[in-house]
Amino acid sequence: MPSAVSESLPGRAAPPQPAESQYVGARAVAEISLGAVAENFRAIAERVGPAVQICAVVKADAYGHGAVEVGRRLVREGAAALAVADSGESTALRKAGIRAPLLALGPVLPDEAPALARARASVAVADPSDLPPLEAAGEAVGRALAVHLLVDTGMARHGARPEEVAGLARQIASSGSLRLEGLWTHFAAASPSEPGPMLEQLAVFRRVAAEVEAAGVRVPLRHAAASAAIFVATAAHLDMVRPGLALYGADPGELRASGIPLRPALALRTRIAFLADLPAGSAVGYQPGYRTPRPTRLATLPVGYADGLPGSLGNRGRVLLRGRPAPIVGRISMDMTTVDVGGIPDAAAGDVVTLIGRDGDEEIRVEDLARDAGTIPWEILARIGPRVRRVYR
């Protein structure tokens, strides 16, 4: 994935003009502020205090921000570990020279075990059938693999049932090729206004952790809190937290409304590729998806759902141009999107258009885009495609 480096910070002024080198040969540019990522990390570190470790989640290419660049910065900021999804992400970080501890959140397929062992990644386990491939991989590399036992406290998608955990922990502890490094769970919800369900899951987890200790198995790390839970309840901090979305300045729920400072780290921009003056009643896009209600001017943007712009934004989304909003009209195509710029008479081919970020006094946050598209911020960020150029500031 191509990248470039620039000095100014996004979100402080109007977007850069297309004469800048970052736009040459690029249909879309994701401007990423590593400084913003660092600020968000420090806000989390202040919240949890020095006694709690931070495992920074950089899976899915750091939610579209670039796992290698973001991972390096977070390790410098003091992240105790980086969380990934699988063996491929673990291997990529190691090939990039990142030596920090890694935690593969899984679920892990049996044939991934050798690569995870070579990458020295800790591995999430949830079932006795997970253990034999990992034991064989540990024996092959000549060292015990660290594992984190996942407890299903209410998600029902992955994890050992509470009544199974103590026995599975004893099995891990008795293995010569595995080492129980952590016990963890994941919350189905963590809302400041309705913390009850999260606290119920936390109570189950604490009970299970006590049962494991009573069975004579020592657990160095207990962790449960992701981004929202970090700010909802101090009791959920335990030994380690796993922030993801909050690192990138996006709100997983009600944090910004609760006064939690989060600085967006990504701005997504493109340029006008084509302009057309159309009479009233003109059909626009496939099927057609739209007819102009009056004479107007349309701008074609050279981005579409292949770049991560959700197709559901057709006829309901907006972009920013010259500091003003402009509606998306017609269906979003794989590579093109049409915008009504009739209210912006000075629009010109080559103008920079903001899909996510600030332009003058106007701003579109990831949460805004997700709301308009009928999805969640995680999906918006993770689906920003590889042909979007990442520019690091």
The domain tally of the chain equals 2
Is position 305 annotated as part of the catalytic site?
no
Cα–Cα distance, 246 to 227 (Å, whole number): 5
Cα–Cα distance, 30 to 53 (Å, whole number): 30
| Radius of gyration over every alpha carbon of the chain, rounded to an integer in angstroms | 23
Cα–Cα distance, 194 to 196 (Å, whole number): 6
Q: Count of CB atoms within 10 A of residue 52's CB? A: 19
3-class SS of residue 157: coil
Q: Answer whether 355's CB lies under 8 Å from 268's CB.
A: yes
Structure-block tokens of residue 155: 């998600």
Kindly tell me the burial class for residue 315, based on how many C-beta atoms sit within 10 Å of its own C-beta (0-12, 13-18, 19 or more).
middle
One domain, residues 291 and 230: no
Range of the domain at 12: 3-29+265-392
Residue 99 in domain = yes
Residue 186 in domain = yes
Is position 286 annotated as part of the catalytic site?
yes
3-class SS of residue 245: helix
Residue 258 in domain = no
* CATH number of residue 199's parent domain: 3.20.20.10
Strand-pair category, 337-340 with 362-364: unpaired
Residue 260 in domain = no
- Positions of the chain with pLDDT under 50: 1-19
Q: What is the pLDDT of residues 277-301, one digit of tens each?
A: 999 999 999 988 899 999 999 999 9
Strand-pair category, 121-125 with 102-104: parallel
CA 230 to chain centre: 16
Residue 259 in domain = no
Q: Answer whether 185's CB lies under 8 Å from 150's CB.
A: yes
One domain, residues 80 and 195: yes
Cα–Cα distance, 175 to 180 (Å, whole number): 10
What pLDDT sits at residue 26? 86
One domain, residues 47 and 11: no
One domain, residues 14 and 64: no
pTM for this entry: 0.91
One domain, residues 217 and 188: yes
| Selected catalytic residue, list 59, 63, 248, 290 | 59
One domain, residues 162 and 223: yes
One domain, residues 66 and 197: yes
Cα–Cα distance, 373 to 144 (Å, whole number): 46
The count of C-alpha atoms lying within 13 angstroms of the C-alpha of 272, restricted to the half-sphere facing its C-beta, is: 24
Which among 231, 252, 273 is the end of a domain?
A: 252
Cα–Cα distance, 323 to 389 (Å, whole number): 23
3-class SS of residue 28: strand
Strand partners, 125: 149
Which among 205, 220, 252 is the end of a domain?
A: 252
Q: Answer whether 363's CB lies under 8 Å from 3's CB.
A: no
Structure-block tokens of residue 130: 């997970």
* CATH number of residue 13's parent domain: 2.40.37.10
One domain, residues 244 and 328: no
| Selected catalytic residue, list 23, 63, 248, 286 | 286
Q: What is the pLDDT of residues 380-390, one digit of tens each?
A: 999 999 999 99
What pLDDT sits at residue 21? 65
